[in-house]
Chain A
Amino acid sequence: MKKTAENIYGIPVGQAFDGGRDAFLQAALQAVSDRFALDGASFYEYDEKTGLLRLRLRQASGVAFEHEENFRPSPGSAAARALENMQATTASSPAGRFLYFPFRFDSSDPSGGKNSVTTAGLIRLERSLRRRRFSTGEAAKADAFLRSFLRDYYKAEFFSLTRKYDKNVSAITELTEVFATALRVRDSFRHILAGIQTYFGFDRVRLYLIDEKNRKLKGELSADIRGQIKSISYEEIPLEAGAHRFADIVLGRSSGAFMERYKDCVLYMPLSVQGVTIGLLIVDNLLSQQRIEPQELAMLKSFGGQIALAVDNARLFDKVEELSLYDELTKLPLRRFFNQRFQEEFYRAERFKQPLALLWADVDHFKEVNDTYGHQIGDVVLKEVGRVILANLRKIDFPCRYGGDEIVILLPQATGAEAQRLAQRLNSEISELRIAVPFSKTRELKITLSIGISTFPADGATIEAMLEKADDALYWVKSHGRGKIALYSGLAPQRAAETGKTAAGGGAGPSVN
């Protein structure tokens, strides 16, 4: 039969480690205290570099408790001898009778690292002076018991390292998948940060991207320890040496001392694609001050290339999407995007019986502007009109450059009157615009908009009908002096009057707004 403490003394030391290492240690100290009628038992870790013993766990008076105290055993003392000779040693002092049991084992790094991991320490069995000394026989029994327990402890340590390694291997596989799919999902950056947090669980992960045009490092997203992700777009750092630590890191000029200090709980990872730095990923445990395991650091670093590629791809993807959905000049969505959104909003208005307004605007005399001042000035006009429109809309409103100088704006949950108010505001602000025209006599150009409005359900019960009615209203404005606003449903009496007047010999058009 194999000689184990359990077999020899009937004490179940080889218990499962399900409760974790600490629970295992507690159970062991309890068992050894009971078996050898101790007043106390303490478990110390030994740091060979500093020569310090660190108390981790103590058992006394039926209570096990973690505690932290650091001691340096005096040279020649029983504890020092035990550690030096790796042999159990007994001692007596005014504080009691002690049996010091040293241990030391080296385990290989399960991840295949070259360095072995050393665990060393001391277990102290304690009796008060009133109680008997530790006899030689008792010391031998305790030695056998503790060796058996430490073998289990060693197994637990190794098991925990192996489990960590397994976890890392599965993280590698799954993170690779996350980064690969990041391109195909919406909110790609969020996806990447969430992936990193899921597998590493840092206090924070932050992503900054370089804005080459403006020479800035711009904050994108931050994920916290609870996995909550928020925008940090308010963070903008000039990309100049000395402007900020992050800028220095990206530019390769960070201070060595500072980085050395932070190396255990912060990783600054410049993201580079084909030798070009595109951003900076920062992971940290600054709040908890917990050390980021070297294995985790190494793994994250090894992911650096993939993360950079995923981030770059996602950025390119966004750029392509932006180009295909938005007009570069006015920054307004394009017709294809608008049509899709119009359908959604129309369906919602129909289903929930909510109003919906459509505003169709046209820059007055835009062709003349182009012909007279050139397309560059025409572009400036459109750009300015786009800016004014975007600045005046609610979040739910949806504008679109429908074609040429025609702009339509979808106003969910807006009545005709509300649409008219917005149209007036736009008209008023746009009429105040002064476009500089350097080579003309007037030096500046004023512009106006003509706007037609249709509403659901009053003017049209289909998308096509709404577009048609808004266009009709716009046409009416265009043909009645421009620079005004017409609501389709408000035109009927004026049209009727006009028809009558025409029949009676003509007259002025209706005054709309």
Chain B
Amino acid sequence: MKIWLLSDYDHKKHLAFKSMLARFSAAFPETEADFSVKSRRSMWESLFSHLRDPKRNPLADVIEIPQNWTELFSRLGLLADLAPKVEPLARKRYPDFVLKELCRHDEDRAFSAPWWLEAPALFFRPRELEKICREPWDELSSWEGFRAALDRVSSGNKKRNFRALAAPYSSGAVCPADVLPRVWGRRGGLFSDDFNRATFTREETAGGIEDWLELAVSGKIELFSPDRFENGPRPADQCAFIISSRKPAGQASRPARPGHRQAKAGARQAKSGPGELKVLPYPGCSAGGGLVLAYNLAVSAASGDLTGASAFVSWAMEPENLRPFAESFGVFPCLKSVFEECLQAEREAETYRKIFSAPELMPNIMAYPTAELLLERALWNLSLKIARRDYDREDLSRELIMAQGEADYLLSLY
């Protein structure tokens, strides 16, 4: 059985999967399982290559996909219906906000099983804000408040290697994962609510994108960072703010089981006091309704071992396998009971409850993944301009108008 895993900026995910797979192989020695890690782009290309020439480009049996690729690839006939084979799917044991997108068009069938999810949040170091922010919980609840605090932190700190803001998941250029949480915060989106037209240029959407681009234009985040290339991601203790959807190392949940080694280490670090990171909802989303990203496991409809592949997905969904995997790289499991347990176990459970109040996933409709690619291309062009310092607000308008035109056209086709 071959498994394709989506690559992650945090190598811990790959290692956690490797160890999970080793446990699976120990439990089921008769099943030969092997995995490879594909970038999002490479995964996308591989799926389309299979459509073009299935014989030359076989798919893996189990494939990890962003949840909102499900509709597209199931409609293209690539994914098997897992509902009859994966018990949590049959019994809908997932939070409602996850099920809403998974079963958008079909209540009875499910072409992927939600696996893990993450919610962008703002982490801050109270020590760095002592003098500039009296009530961080209030002041940082809005984008404007966050933005003002960011300015004050930047100008007030002369420490070497200090960065006011870090986005550890950055791929170098501004990408959809950067801007969409802010777009959601402004109640924007790539399509209208009825999915009849693209809304890239709508004020809420364009404004959300512009808010993030402004961070790059003003140098608050560095594009194509040479520093990151040479020194790796900036350590958390050198940053005042971190925008991330992962709990940083040391922010682990309270131990799930007494003596759990990882949780103990997290608690130790967290107790270290002044260096501790606090978490807040994404600026502008303090009342809930923020964007959540979910990743699912799917089984190829062309798999020669549908039963074995489905059995692996079922096994991966078992709480004792799911929870350690998700915790190992600071994300949440999708299974409702385990998700609730993890929320409960959070040291900052209250904040996370806020983050997960009325969350929204990206729409699981056929044209959405391509619309994200269109946005990605626009953001890439803009990132190059920003890096060359010849960016203008008009460039954003132009790129969004073009992307919107393409997305509208796409909607008319699919």
Contact = CB atoms under 8 A, between A and B. Distances in A.
B172 A62 contact: no
Contacts of A64: 36-37
A201 B52 contact: yes
Contact of A72 (B7, B77, B224): B224
A95 interface: yes
B224 A67 contact: no
A60 B38 CA distance: 15
B190 to A, nearest CB: 14
A73 B51 contact: no
Contact of A63 (B11, B48, B370, B377): B11
A68 interface: yes
A23 to B, nearest CB: 9
Contact of B231 (A52, A56, A94, A226): A94
Interface stretch (A285-293, A346-354, A477-485): A285-293
A401 interface: no
A91 B231 CA distance: 11
B229 A67 contact: no
Interface string A62-105: 11111111111110011100000000000101111000000000
B172 A52 contact: yes
Contact of B230 (A22, A52, A77, A258): A77
Contact of A61 (B8, B11, B39): B11
A289 B370 contact: yes
A201 to B, nearest CB: 3
A394 interface: no
SS of A interface (majority): mixed
B406 interface: yes
Given A71-B229, A73-B226, A289-B374, A61 B15 contact: yes
Given A95-B230, A288-B370, A289-B373, A66 B38 contact: yes
A470 interface: no
Contacts of A62: 18
Given A62-B18, A72-B387, A95 B37 contact: no
Nearest to A264: B377
B384 interface: yes
Contact of A69 (B11, B44, B171): B171
Contacts of A78: 230
B100 interface: no
A286 B413 contact: yes
A93 B229 CA distance: 11
Q: Which of A67, A95, A203, A261 counts the most chain B CB atoms within 10 A? A: A67
Contacts of A93: 230-231
Q: Which of B8, B38, B39, B414 counts the most chain A CB atoms within 10 A? A: B39
A68 B41 contact: yes
Contacts of A52: 172, 224
Given A71-B228, A77-B226, A63 B14 contact: yes
B11 A71 contact: no
Given A66-B37, A94-B231, A72 B226 contact: yes
Contact of A225 (B44, B51, B230, B384): B51
Contacts of B18: 62-63
A469 interface: no
B414 A95 contact: no
Contacts of B45: 288, 290
Contacts of B230: 73-74, 77-79, 91, 93, 95
B51 to A, nearest CB: 5
A71 B11 CA distance: 18
B40 interface: yes
Interface in A256-311: 258, 261-262, 286-290
B301 to A, nearest CB: 12
A50 interface: yes
Q: How large is the interface on B (under 10, 10 to 19, 20 to 34, 35 or more residues)?
A: 35 or more
Contacts of A26: 36
Contacts of A68: 7, 39-41, 171
B288 interface: no
Nearest to A67: B7
Nearest to B227: A74
B51 A70 contact: no
Interface in A39-68: 50, 52-53, 56, 60-68
A201 B224 CA distance: 35
Contact of A70 (B42, B48, B173, B232): B173
Contact of A226 (B39, B76, B377): B76
Given A69-B171, A225-B48, A286 B406 contact: yes
Contact of B172 (A69, A286, A289): A69
Interface in B358-414: 370, 373-374, 377, 384, 387, 402, 405-406, 409-410, 413-414
A218 interface: no
A430 B170 CA distance: 74
Contact of B370 (A204, A225, A286): A286
B373 A65 contact: no
Contacts of B40: 68
A226 B172 contact: no
A288 B15 contact: no
Contacts of B402: 261
Given A53-B229, A289-B370, A261 B224 contact: no
A150 B410 CA distance: 41
A65 B7 contact: yes
B9 interface: yes
B225 interface: yes
Interface in B1-35: 7-9, 11, 14-15, 18
B106 interface: no
Contacts of B130: none
A510 to B, nearest CB: 61
A204 B384 CA distance: 31
Contact of B44 (A61, A94, A288): A288
Contacts of A91: 230
A64 B40 CA distance: 15
Nearest to B52: A201
B53 interface: yes
B167 to A, nearest CB: 12
Contacts of B170: 69
Given A71-B225, A95-B232, A65 B37 contact: yes
B226 A67 contact: no
Enumerate the 3 nearest inter-chain pairs by beta-carbon distance, A residue then B residue, closest first.
A70-B172, A65-B37, A201-B52
Given A63-B11, A64-B36, A204-B413, 10 more contacts: A67-B9, A69-B9, A71-B224, A73-B226, A73-B230, A74-B226, A225-B52, A261-B402, A286-B406, A286-B409
29 contacts: A50-B384, A53-B229, A56-B39, A63-B11, A63-B37, A64-B36, A64-B37, A65-B7, A66-B39, A67-B7, A67-B39, A68-B41, A69-B9, A69-B228, A71-B224, A71-B226, A72-B224, A72-B225, A72-B229, A73-B226, A74-B226, A77-B230, A94-B231, A95-B231, A96-B232, A201-B51, A225-B51, A226-B77, A261-B406
Interface of A: 22, 26, 50, 52-53, 56, 60-74, 77-79, 91, 93-96, 201, 203-204, 225-226, 258, 261-262, 286-290
